[in-house]
Amino acid sequence: MTTVSLTVNGQSVTADVDPRTLLVQFLRDNLRLTGTHVGCDTSQCGACVVHLNGQAVKSCTVLAVQANASVVTTIEGIADGGELHPMQAAFREHHGLQCGFCTPGMIMSAIDIVNRKGNALDEQTIRAELEGNLCRCTGYHNIVKAVAAGARGMAQEPLSQAAE
């Protein structure tokens, strides 16, 4: 067993883990943060996207020991109390989900896109940037609309929350 210490959603956590434990397994099994999903086991679908030190990563490709001393944000950590993050609110308002399985990864990826590319995103950019996230239910039309609306909403939020 190896001891890992990291900050998850603003809280310090320390645990002993098997060195082969994936970050997604650590989040789901050890911390019971089940919003991060395992969809494919091959790093193709993006359902497991979280932010690691402020950047989107597929948590099925990162060992928990690699995240030692890092800051992790999951879908459970982006709302502000009872108020949804602007990207979450946009997905709800623009019906950017159907079954919801891919939604946490889509939202975490979308926030990362805005953080990297800015708030004025066109459809082509959004579609290209979401290539690593699969949705088996939709044609992505409403997801793209939701990301664009969420990006505009993130431009309106206070700086402390925008930095995430």
Strand order in the sheet with 2-8: 11-17, 2-8, 71-73, 49-52, 55-58
Q: Which amino acid is at 78?
A: I
Which residue is associated with the tokens 């603003």?
Answer: 10
- Please tell me the predicted confidence (pLDDT) of residue 41: 77
What's the pLDDT score for residue 100?
87
Confidence band for 158, pLDDT divided at 50, 70 and 90: low
Superfamily grouping for domain 2-77: Beta-grasp domain (3.10.20.30)
CB neighbour list of residue 67: distance below 8 Å, 6 or more residues apart? 4, 6, 23, 26, 52
The pLDDT tens digits of the residues spanning 108-143 come to 999 999 999 999 999 999 999 999 898 888 888 999
Q: How many CB atoms lie within 10 A of CB 31?
A: 17
* Structure token pair of residue 156: 């309106």
The pTM assigned to this predicted structure is: 0.92
Question: How do beta strands 11-17 and 49-52 pair?
Answer: unpaired
Domain ranges of the chain: 2-77, 86-159
User: How do residues 4-44 score in pLDDT, each as one tens digit?
Assistant: 999 999 999 999 999 999 999 999 999 999 999 998 878 88
The pLDDT tens digits of the residues spanning 45-88 come to: 999 999 999 999 999 999 999 999 999 999 999 999 889 999 99
> pLDDT class for 161, splitting at 50, 70, 90?
very low
Superfamily of domain 86-159, CATH level 4? [2Fe-2S]-binding domain (1.10.150.120)
Helical ranges in the chain per DSSP H: 23-25, 86-93, 103-117, 123-129, 141-156, 159-162
